[in-house]
Amino acid sequence: NAGVTQTPKFRILKIGQSMTLQCTQDMNHNYMYWYRQDPGMGLKLIYYSVGAGITDKGEVPNGYNVSRSTTEDFPLRLELAAPSQTSVYFCASSPGTGDFGTEAFFGQGTRLTVV
Amino acid sequence: QKEVEQNSGPLSVPEGAIASLNCTYSDRGSQSFFWYRQYSGKSPELIMFIYSNGDKEDGRFTAQLNKASQYVSLLIRDSQPSDSATYLCAVNDRGSTLGRLYFGRGTQLTVWP
């Protein structure tokens, strides 16, 4: 059981380039999330999905796009990379909220630098 | 915008002491509360969750929740150097934003031998 797998682990982009961060989970979780974490800061939600075909914006969606065509995969697309998108990106999944919500399981992160 | 605030830290305690980490949240409708531990360069991992007012104990960790005061805390007893990490408080609500987790900035804890 691999859990949540993110690729790549590290990437350097030039300003204006585009890329896709891949995320896949094998726990059959309905909920998936993309967070970014800047130094000394907590996690900020970029986008989330409550199931295949359903996505919604989080706190900081500008400059990003997502899709959710399957339960397993939730890729994050960066268009026209900017230095402000230099950050560590975490993908996470959770089985659903139930009555009180459930915890999220995180991937190992992608460290992205835009130069 | 839902706010989750943590004591800014960094917090430094000697080995064997009790470390106390605090978190307040802005949304009274919040239902569930999580403490994640994050080692430097690693991803967050869940260590405790709590839904009901009062205390919840798991080994050396105790989570305390007071919904009236909108306050949740984490106590680490008999702190060990291996507890040195950043601790993130997260809040999950059941409103229109089902499934969303809001995180605080984290408190960096150092346990010195």
Mean pLDDT for chain B?
90
Q: Would the pLDDT of B112 be above 90?
A: yes
Concatenate the DSSP letters of all residues of A44-111 into one string.
Answer: EEEEEEEETTEEEE-S--TTEEE--SSSSB--EEE-S--GGG-EEEEEEEES--TTT----EE---EE
Q: Positive or negative CA dihedral for A97, B33, A111, A77?
A: positive
CB neighbour list of residue B3: distance below 8 Å, 6 or more residues apart: B25, B26, B27, B102
Is A74 an interface residue toward B (CB < 8 Å)? no
Q: Would the pLDDT of B1 be above 70?
A: no
* pLDDT digits (tens), chain A, 115 positions: 689 999 999 999 999 999 999 999 999 988 899 999 998 788 999 999 989 999 999 889 999 999 999 999 999 999 999 999 999 999 999 887 655 556 788 999 999 999 9
Average pLDDT over residues B62-67: 95
pLDDT in tens, B7-45: 877 999 999 999 999 999 988 878 889 999 999 999 999
Write out the two tokens for B106.
Answer: 């984290």
Calculate the alpha carbon distances from B106 to B22, B24, B28, B39, B48 in Å. 10, 12, 21, 12, 15
**Residue in A closest to B32 by C-alpha:** A100
Rounded-to-integer distance, Cα B79 and Cα B100, Å: 31
- pLDDT at B99 (0 to 100): 65
Is A76 an interface residue toward B (CB < 8 Å)? no
Residues of B in contact with A44 (CB under 8 A): 103
CB neighbour list of residue B101: distance below 8 Å, 6 or more residues apart: A33, A43, A45, A101, A104, B34, B90, B91, B92
Q: Would the pLDDT of B96 be above 50?
A: no
- pLDDT at A80 (0 to 100): 93
